[in-house]
A and B are shown apart, each in its own frame.
Chain A
């Protein structure tokens, strides 16, 4: 008995000591002090290079440390000149770019025309494996630098010529009037010499020309960015720095925000949407972003490409109760879609509310009739394919199926078809193995109506996963791209969008919002149209 008691006391004391250590350690690693704010982050999937970053987490950093020729207004999404003094063209195919004087990288190196041309050549070159290389696809000579198969026959784009320190010319392989507006995309950022001369060192601690500099970067854990005092731009950082902390789970980041250990969370987990208003009050942001979710169809499957199938697709669109699903499942962080673009474009940019018309209105009776007229569901059953690993896709796919089943009065009309991982999902899509509609999401690269239509629906375009093809649509897109007058270009794109509507090439579901929450220390927090916080404008304290 005595022995046992002793052991028990020893154990209790040990626990007490450990507990005390825990409490002692806790005060040491709290939030960051001074005018520095801490923000949640995810581990970037690819090495941090401008032309190699195609997801939000890496893009977030590049947006802080780089400024390109143009920059998209954080509020209106309009492309404004940043480093560009002017971008001139007379034929929508040959452009002359003049850059402003007085800009340098944060290491002091002067930014010249060569900083851009070298960076673009690097991004386009096949041997560098840059995942955003296709952004340079409009520039003359891309075929030689980045052939679809085989080895490259040139190292540099023939369409790029340095004229002098502050001027270079760009020759495109087709007319593309809104080309200058695409130049705000981070893939077009300039790069300093050190990027090419000591690549490994640059990757370990990237150097750019934006309002922030990277102070320290521990891969997989955190990145500390500080304000660059010598930044020549007008959008100087309003705080002293930002510490990006990698979280294993967005729920943990949210918990840390509530506990006061974190200042900013830019991804409110779906499970917390119910409580977020109560928890944060007006420190919760929910604003539209340039993201649209759709259901795409496999047009390589004859069953979906036969005449009359467009009636079935339109019927399916009418069978989906978008409002109910966005209200209940997404807690209003999605807006029912009524066109194929995004509200962030604004009406001038090409967003047209209601362009979809009655095809996007919930009408169970009409849906049933149209589907029957169109010859019924191919194979008698609809299987919606999605990846089940992230993004709580299961919930809404089940809801969409439920809605369709109710409209058709058939319990088995629609079922979800989950795929384990995103990689496998993408794999099956690229191998054209889809037997029915599948989840498709589109996050814009730049706020242009062109970006919502051409990559997705143009014949053999990069993201035309369903292989939809329509001669009239292609012709209208070509026309719009050649149009020098912006308003005319936009309205031609809208005509092309009507072709998408009449054929119901893809069913638009909803526009996605960006959501964020922040601590009481912060003010002036906003999300830009890419749903990334506008870090430089945030005030601390």
Chain B
């Protein structure tokens, strides 16, 4: 187990280096970031040259990358163009997005798995058909449509919620945005659980458990659900990273100043430091969550061992 974790952590190093290098190259291919800094008129050459020097943009790309990676290990993610350290941007953006992700994941786990279990146990019944239809609708409607519609109905028409999230972005305010963000994944979790449950319902160990005379509830939660959750856990694990990085649409609609917003601004203003910094952290989150998911398998199915 310990050796497995160490091996996995070592494998992360090349993935991490490769991913950050790719992002670094992509942002730089977009052109000279200083050019957009002066608005509709060109920066005067002397100031532009000096700004380039200050941000290290006058050096060759490989050197910029090495300096950048070197700085990261000391916790220095550079400075955004508005003079704010990128770490400061992260300190404000990540907590908000993490809260939003938690809300979304909770929705996926609670509603998604519950619906999946219910429909999986009642395949072909009206409940099943109804939920299947509903998930189909959710999957096919784009996130920004759901978001804008909910914002308009709940926020402007009925005054149940505030259309925009405040600076604090407390859990309570993030319910609707979280639901919007989770919607599509939630539908997938439902379908995934449903299929898995329906398949395992006919397996030997479930029949044995029922034959032993175990209460139905115990059969479902301890035997059936636990074994059926492996694909679902994989999906939800991968989704954590996707939700954190992909919340751009939801965050824009509900005025949430999180990671998605900062990334969007960073790309618009071609701010290498911001974009690369945030993506670096997201890559780390992704890698760690994947490791965690793999380790969870053993908890769910003791037959899986790590050597």
A262 to chain B minimum Cβ distance, whole angstroms, is 8
Please provide the chain B residues from 188 to 216 with a CB less than 8 Å away from any CB of chain A in the complex. Answer: 216
- Which stretch from A19-27, A331-339, A524-532 is at the chain B interface? A19-27
Contact partner of B40 among A44, A149, A248, A442, CB < 8 A?
Answer: A442
For A21, the closest partner residue in chain B by CB is B172
For A247, the closest partner residue in chain B by CB is B255
Please provide the chain B residues from 136 to 187 with a CB less than 8 Å away from any CB of chain A in the complex. Answer: 151-152, 155-156, 159-164, 166-168, 170-173, 175-176
What does the 1/0 interface line of A34-66 toward B look like (CB < 8 Å)?
000000000111110000001100000000000
A5 to chain B minimum Cβ distance, whole angstroms, is 9
Contact partner of B31 among A4, A19, A427, A440, CB < 8 A?
Answer: A427
What does the 1/0 interface line of A384-409 toward B look like (CB < 8 Å)?
00000110000000000000000000
Contact partner of B171 among A21, A129, A261, CB < 8 A?
Answer: A21
A126 beta carbon closer than 8 Å to chain B: yes
How many angstroms between the C-alpha atoms of A6 and B110 in the bound complex? 12
Count class of interface residues, chain B: 35 or more
How many angstroms between the C-alpha atoms of A241 and B81 in the bound complex? 29
Whether the Cβ atoms of A3 and B44 lie closer than 8 Å is: no
What does the 1/0 interface line of A199-229 toward B look like (CB < 8 Å)?
0000100000000000000111110000000
A271 to chain B minimum Cβ distance, whole angstroms, is 10
Whether the Cβ atoms of A149 and B45 lie closer than 8 Å is: yes
B251 beta carbon closer than 8 Å to chain A: yes
A426 beta carbon closer than 8 Å to chain B: yes
Whether the Cβ atoms of A256 and B257 lie closer than 8 Å is: no
Q: Which residues of B contact A1 (CB under 8 A)?
A: 121, 216
Q: Which residues of B contact A134 (CB under 8 A)?
A: 44
B71 beta carbon closer than 8 Å to chain A: no
Contact partner of A256 among B111, B164, B167, B175, CB < 8 A?
Answer: B164
Given contacts A24-B172, A129-B54, A423-B269, contact A54 B164 (CB under 8 A): no
B256 beta carbon closer than 8 Å to chain A: yes
What does the 1/0 interface line of B95-121 toward A look like (CB < 8 Å)?
000000000001000110010011001
Whether the Cβ atoms of B50 and A11 lie closer than 8 Å is: no
Q: Which residues of B contact A14 (CB under 8 A)?
A: 106, 110
Given contacts A131-B38, A423-B31, A423-B35, contact A248 B251 (CB under 8 A): yes
Whether the Cβ atoms of A389 and B254 lie closer than 8 Å is: no
Whether the Cβ atoms of A4 and B121 lie closer than 8 Å is: yes
Contact partner of A2 among B172, B216, B255, CB < 8 A?
Answer: B216
Q: Which residues of B contact A426 (CB under 8 A)?
A: 35-36, 38, 40, 42
Whether the Cβ atoms of B83 and A46 lie closer than 8 Å is: yes
A375 beta carbon closer than 8 Å to chain B: no
How many angstroms between the C-alpha atoms of A441 and B40 in the bound complex? 7
For A29, the closest partner residue in chain B by CB is B166
How many angstroms between the C-alpha atoms of A10 and B114 in the bound complex? 10
A465 beta carbon closer than 8 Å to chain B: yes
How many angstroms between the C-alpha atoms of A463 and B40 in the bound complex? 8
B105 to chain A minimum Cβ distance, whole angstroms, is 13
Whether the Cβ atoms of A248 and B35 lie closer than 8 Å is: no
Contact partner of B81 among A45, A147, A261, CB < 8 A?
Answer: A45
A420 to chain B minimum Cβ distance, whole angstroms, is 7
Given contacts A45-B37, A219-B84, A221-B257, contact A420 B114 (CB under 8 A): no
A62 to chain B minimum Cβ distance, whole angstroms, is 15
- Which stretch from B10-18, B260-268, B278-286, B295-303 is at the chain A interface? B260-268
B74 beta carbon closer than 8 Å to chain A: no
Most A C-beta atoms less than 10 A away, residue of B44, B88, B218: B44
How many angstroms between the C-alpha atoms of A261 and B159 in the bound complex? 11
26 contacts between A and B (CB under 8 A): A2-B216, A3-B218, A4-B118, A7-B114, A18-B171, A45-B81, A126-B46, A148-B46, A149-B49, A249-B253, A249-B255, A252-B255, A253-B255, A255-B152, A259-B155, A259-B159, A420-B30, A421-B31, A423-B31, A423-B32, A423-B35, A424-B30, A428-B31, A430-B32, A442-B40, A463-B41
Given contacts A261-B163, A423-B36, 16 further A-B contacts (CB under 8 A): A1-B121, A2-B217, A8-B118, A18-B172, A46-B81, A129-B50, A131-B38, A149-B46, A248-B251, A248-B264, A255-B155, A256-B164, A423-B269, A424-B31, A430-B35, A442-B40
Closest 7 pairs between A and B when the two form their complex, measured CB to CB: A423-B36, A3-B217, A25-B172, A427-B35, A423-B270, A21-B172, A427-B31
Residues of chain B having any CB pair with chain A under 8 Å: 30-33, 35-47, 49-51, 54, 81-84, 88-89, 92, 106, 110-111, 114, 117-118, 121, 151-152, 155-156, 159-164, 166-168, 170-173, 175-176, 216-218, 220-221, 251-257, 261, 264-265, 267-270
